[in-house]
Amino acid sequence: MKRQAMAAAMGVMAVFGAPGKAQAYDIDCAIMLCMAGGFPPSAVCARAYRTMIRRITPWPSLPPFGVCTFAHVPVELGGPGGEGELDTTLPEYEWLNRTHVIWFTGQAYRERGGEQYWDWSLRSCDRENRTCRYIQRVYRSHTPWPEAFVSEGGQEIAYPTGGGSSYFYLRSIMVEYGDYEGNMGHSEWFSY
């Protein structure tokens, strides 16, 4: 329902909005707005999704998004037309510091002789990709990874699913974020 409402709102904006002003939003704003709606189908959200994935999939990853501002929007489109950066150390931007990129790598394999093993790891990086730490690292387990884990933000998050055969390799990534009221949320897993 939430996804449909967001898609409808984006559709109405696309039909009735002025094309010049629609381009006024920077890509960080588009990523945040589209992520909140689960990346509903639209040209803007498709571009936002591609940009976010392009930022977080290389190693080391770039931050998935920054602060949504109109800093680079020309004055004639209603923006300040400036080049200045926003001070994100202020208390009103604390929500941005709760953003983490969570990396998952897992595999199942069978050694000669027939025993099946599973390896998996979860790594969490801050929004600037300066600090990364392992949440979990397991090698040569006789059982698959569990159903869920507890993130740095205190959320219980389901592991990504994949495989189904005795040999597979899975690499996925997600973004955990908090809003300005302190509520935590997360994106779905993106496999790559």
pTM beyond 0.75, yes or no = no
Mind listing the pLDDT tens digit for each residue in 30-43? 887 787 777 888 88
Structure tokens at 37: 């709606």
In eight-state DSSP terms, residue 45 is H
Beta strands in the chain (DSSP E): 100-110, 116-126, 132-141, 148-150, 156-158, 168-178, 184-186, 190-191
Angle CA 89–90–94, to nearest 5: 80
pLDDT at 20: 36
Mind listing the pLDDT tens digit for each residue in 17-32? 333 333 445 777 788 7
Q: Would you tell me how many other CB atoms lie within 10 Å of the CB of residue 42?
A: 18
Mind listing the pLDDT tens digit for each residue in 62-94? 666 666 665 555 555 555 555 555 566 777 667
Mind listing the pLDDT tens digit for each residue in 129-186? 678 899 999 999 999 999 999 998 889 999 998 766 667 899 998 888 887 777 888 8
Tell whether the model's pLDDT for residue 59 goes beyond 70: no
pLDDT at 118: 92
The Cα–Cα gap between 162 and 111 comes to 20
